[in-house]
Structure 1
């Protein structure tokens, strides 16, 4: 279980958010919605441990999530709005890098997002939607209970959104949790909304 308690975050002199609390249990999904600049990406970065809250705490299973930063990093997958791909590496090689870190089967992850026909192409020649699918394929490698996703459907066509929906459903069926910042509807049935 992930719990945020009275979180506050400032950028310069400006409060991005304050007094923010929520809880997410196994199989849960929470959509972060709001205008540009409302703090959705900032909240995801904070939950990933990349930013520190000005006030409040993040708990995992009732304990300080950041007490052991390595353990916290191991229990999550963070996908920012940037795809974080090495342009000179092929799709297969890009996923292989993460498979060496986390484990998992590269070919199966490629197949999950229909990338096998593109597996030997360098990432630099992929379209923006194909690059996004390759970034999302990292989620299909080794399991991690918490997925933090920043605008996961940007650049995706309808068929790719459907594949993502199936991936999200499998993750939740295994007890996984999803927090996603979005401006568009996501294939997350029963997800709660948190408006920032």
Structure 2
């Protein structure tokens, strides 16, 4: 397994949101994360990416294998599209960026400052970073936000190619990407609400 989680309990703002969650992710596998707003999808992805610690439980196989794409595009506005990709390639010890430019039709925009791009173009650039990291596990939070139909197809093709090369992906999305993937519904793992006694409630009044 490339990534596994056992008996995870996670909190947001000190309040438990997920409890008793287990999953595994193998090479060539995509796992689609589903659940209502506020169920803890982003909290789970941030925890898997190492941006926050779980309350309890274990995460195995992650280490430096993960490339994370959250709600922010993670681009530098005063660098060109090409320079942004070169920067991330250097950070992760990668090489050529041509495949990333090709995958998201960014060649015509290569010399444009990232700050001048439209929201959809910025999203394409942000997602193209995944291709220069060399990381085998992609952890993605609503990656298709701001993308038009053609760009969603580019993203889905990039994910399929990543899986075909032995990579893996954990994706929170409500969009049908037409990729072969299992679904993990986190609703059954929602933590029970915390109830305070009358004396404790008074402390918050």
Query: Could you tell me the TM-score, scaled by structure 2's length?
Result: 0.86
Tell me the distance in 1 between the aligned counterparts of 2:140 and 2:34: 12
1:180 Cα offset (Å)? 0.4
| Matching of residue 78 in structure 1 with residue 94 in structure 2 | no
| Conserved? CA contact 2:11–2:43, under 8 Å | no
Tell me the distance in 1 between the aligned counterparts of 2:67 and 2:74: 13
For 1:138, which of 129, 136, 149 is the aligned residue? Answer: 129
| Matching of residue 158 in structure 1 with residue 149 in structure 2 | yes
Gaps of 5+ in 2: 187-205
**Corresponding residue for residue 59 of structure 2:** 58
| Matching of residue 181 in structure 1 with residue 172 in structure 2 | yes
- CA deviations over 1:2-32 (Å, ceiling 9, x no partner): 1110000122442110000011111111111
**Corresponding residue for residue 30 of structure 2:** 29
* C-alpha spacing 1:82/1:24, structure 2 compared with 1 (3 Å): same
Tell me the distance in 2 between the aligned counterparts of 1:111 and 1:11: 38
For 2:162, which of 160, 165, 171 is the aligned residue? Answer: 171
Structure having the higher Rg: 2
Matched residue pairs, number?
A: 184
Higher mean C-alpha deviation, range 133-142 or range 15-24: 133-142
For 2:102, which of 97, 100, 111 is the aligned residue? Answer: 111
1:142 Cα offset (Å)? 4.1
Cα RMSD of the aligned pairs, angstroms, is 1.2
